[in-house]
């Protein structure tokens, strides 16, 4: 075997190795996409479930037991969150108790998720702008992250107060 | 034929065999990837379609365009078990009360697919229109909670005590690759009779 033939063999092997590596990389990426979308589905189900649970509570601490027509009865914007003596999940009574709460959930079918809550006052005309005054509308933002996920699943819900007179 | 030529031939045979093995292995990997990717896609599409239907239906438990026809939405769940639910709603928003019943068939009755666990999901409207969904459902489990958040034991004798409904759905592929089925999982918690809860 002369040097020319040896070089040809080395070149062929290099080409083949590159091709196999590229293909392997493609399979890995494809597997990652499948896994990400699977985790995304679970995270979405988690976000909507938690959202549903959160909105099963009263609009405000004050309205849990009575009605109001005055904004001043509602919780101040800088006091949104757990009141003294409250803890998740048993003693929550209103939706803003979830403000700044962080929960962790794990599924036996894979994936551990961190759920972050944010509750703010908003106006229907500008739901993306946080209001520093009390309004009849609270926006609940649920963000689900996971060490295995590259993206955050974020879900928003505007909870308004109303009652029948 | 000299020693050098024999060595060349032997070396070529070894290298060629090695390359052949690599190609066979690669072929197997390609087949597996194509199969599992396709199965995963189908499973996830089936799950999202199914969940879309369930979300639409379950969120309307106790709803009626004419509220006087369901005066007490807390009594809109008629029967509830671990794999079925029957409730009152107004599907067409026409003010007339409809009965919707979800239940699963037996896994053993679905013999057309190799997966031994999948079953048909039935949706029955007003005890007449029966729709069967063969989407690879292998888990369709309900859990029910009262207003205090405590889970209710089966059999549920007082459906009006149900405050929260938790539904876990798992969808698997109908065919396996190397005895392994693709799956996707959904767990949803829903309020029963949402209209009662706003305050």
Cβ proximity of B104 and B77 under 8 Å: no
Residue B22 lies in a domain: no
Residue A39: name the closest of B32, B185, B43, B171 by CA.
Answer: B185
Residue B92 lies in a domain: yes
Nearest CA to CA, how far is B65 from chain A (Å)?
17
Per-residue pLDDT tens for A68-78?
A: 888 888 889 98
Residue pairs between chains A and B whose CB atoms are closer than 8 Å: 72
Answer whether 0.95 is exceeded by the pTM: no
Residue B6 lies in a domain: no
CB contact under 8 A, A163 and B8: no
Q: Which of residues 73-132 of A touch B (CB under 8 A)?
A: 89-90, 107, 109
Predicted local distance difference test score (pLDDT) of residue B125: 92
| R_g over Cα of chain B | 26
Nearest CA in chain B to A161: B199
Weakly modelled stretches of chain A, pLDDT under 70: 1, 89, 109-110, 163-165
Predicted local distance difference test score (pLDDT) of residue A96: 87
ipTM comes to 0.70
Predicted local distance difference test score (pLDDT) of residue B199: 38
Residue B13, helix vs strand vs coil: helix
- Count structural domains, chain B: 1
Residue B102 lies in a domain: yes
Residue B27 lies in a domain: no
Of the candidates A52, A89, A107, which has its C-beta nearest B185's C-beta?
A: A107
Residue B155 lies in a domain: yes
Nearest CA in chain A to B147: A56
Q: Which two tokens stand for residue A138?
A: 């609270």
Give the range of the structural domain holding residue B122, as residue numbers without chain letter.
41-196
Residue B156 to residue B162: CA distance in whole angstroms: 9
Of the candidates B184, B186, B189, which has its C-beta nearest A52's C-beta?
A: B189
Q: What is the mean pLDDT of each run of 10 residues along chain B (199 residues)?
A: 81 87 85 87 89 85 85 85 91 89 87 88 89 89 85 88 87 87 82 54
Per-residue pLDDT tens for A31-40?
A: 888 888 888 8
Residue B75 lies in a domain: yes
CB contact under 8 A, A55 and B197: yes
Q: Around B162, how many Cα atoms within 13 Å sit in the side-chain half-sphere?
A: 34
B3 burial via Cβ count (<10 Å: 0-12, 13-18, 19+): exposed
Residue B85 lies in a domain: yes
């Amino acid at each position: 075997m002369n040097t020319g033939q040896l070089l040809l063999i080395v070149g062929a092997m290099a080409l083949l190795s590159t091709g196999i590596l590229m293909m392997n990389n493609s399979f890995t990426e494809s597997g990652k996409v499948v896994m990400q979308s699977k985790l995304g589905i679970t995270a979405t189900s988690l976000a909507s479930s938690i959202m549903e649970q959160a909105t099963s509570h009263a609009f405000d601490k004050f309205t849990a037991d009575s009605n109001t027509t005055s904004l001043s009865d509602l919780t101040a914007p800088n006091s949104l969150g757990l009141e003294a003596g409250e803890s998740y999940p048993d003693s929550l009574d209103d939706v803003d108790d979830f403000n700044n709460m962080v929960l962790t959930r794990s599924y036996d079918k894979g994936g551990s998720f961190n759920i972050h809550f944010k509750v703010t006052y908003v106006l229907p005309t500008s739901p993306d702008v946080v209001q520093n005054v009390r309004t009849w509308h609270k926006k609940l933002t649920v963000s689900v992250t996971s060490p295995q996920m590259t993206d955050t699943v974020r879900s928003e819900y505007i909870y308004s107060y109303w009652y029948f007179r | 034929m000299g020693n050098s030529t024999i060595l060349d031939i032997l070396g070529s045979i070894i290298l060629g065999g090695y390359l052949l093995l690599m190609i066979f292995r690669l072929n197997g990997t390609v087949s597996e990837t194509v199969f599992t990717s396709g199965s995963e896609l189908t499973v996830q599409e089936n799950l999202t379609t199914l969940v879309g239907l369930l979300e639409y239906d379950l969120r309307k438990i106790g709803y009626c365009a004419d509220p006087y026809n369901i005066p007490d939405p807390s009594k809109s769940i008629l029967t509830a078990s671990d794999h079925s639910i029957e409730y009152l709603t107004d599907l067409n928003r026409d003010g007339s009360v409809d009965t919707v019943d979800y239940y699963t068939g037996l896994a053993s009755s679905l013999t057309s697919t190799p997966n031994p666990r999948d079953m048909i999901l039935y949706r029955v409207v007003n005890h007449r229109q029966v729709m069967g969904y063969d989407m690879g459902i292998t888990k369709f489990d309900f859990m029910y909670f009262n207003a205090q958040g405590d889970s209710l034991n089966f059999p549920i004798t007082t459906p009006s005590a149900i405050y929260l409904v938790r539904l876990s759905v798992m969808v698997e592929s109908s065919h396996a690759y190397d005895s392994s089925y693709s799956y996707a999982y959904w767990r949803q918690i829903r309020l029963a009779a949402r209209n009662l809860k706003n305050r």
